Structures are given as structure tokens and as C-alpha cells.
Amino acid sequence: MDSATIFGVASIVSSALCMAIGSIGPAIGEAKAIAEALRSMAQQPDEAGNISRTLFIGLAMVESIAIYCFVIAVILIFANPFWDHAIGKGR
């Protein structure tokens, strides 16, 4: 295997790890946030509007981490800045 093939495989594996690890944290965080919001709404139904509004803002913030991981994975696969160096054009 030449260096370009090894570099391509490494890019694909690293982007897969980025998506796998970068999605686990936000998924767990979102699940905990939703569970606590539902528990809070059950205890204080009058504050459901405020709780749900705050929940949606918090979920958007947590989801942005997964979106950043997705962007990094796409860059590693399709627009990797080190390809020229890997195939020898960057010398």
C-alpha cells in the first residue's frame, strides 16, 4: 500500500471516530436534559412554558457540538488540507 492509500484510510477512520465519539456526548446530554425538563414540568405545570423555552435553547447549544463534529468529519473526508502533502505534491 502506498502512502496515499494509508492516508485515505486514516482520514476515513479518524472521521468515523470523530462522529462516533462526538455524537455520544451530545446524545447523552440531550437525554438527561429532556428527562429533567419533563420532571420539572410534571412538578410545576405552571412553569412549563418557561422550562420548555429554556430546554429548546439548551438543546440547540448541545446539538451544536455534534454539528461541529460532523463538519470536521466532512472536512477530513472531502477537503482534507493534507492530501497534497500525502501524495507528494506539497514538497
**pLDDT per position as a tens digit, 46-71:** 999 999 999 999 999 999 999 999 99
| Share of residues in the chain with pLDDT > 90 (%) | 67
Domain containing 51: what range?
Answer: 3-81
Count of beta carbons in the 10 Å neighbourhood of residue 11: 19
Question: Which of 47-73 are b and which e, b meaning 16 or more Cβ less than 10 Å from the residue's Cβ?
Answer: eeeebeeebeeebeebeeebeebeeeb
**φ, ψ of residue 71 in degrees (nearest 5):** -65, -40
Determine, yes or no, domain membership for 34. Answer: yes
| CATH code: domain of residue 14 | 1.20.20.10
Determine, yes or no, domain membership for 54. Answer: yes
Determine, yes or no, domain membership for 62. Answer: yes
- CB-facing half-sphere around the CA of 78: CA atoms within 13 A: 6
Determine, yes or no, domain membership for 42. Answer: yes
* Count of domains forming the chain: 1
Alpha-carbon span 31 to 29, nearest angstrom? 5
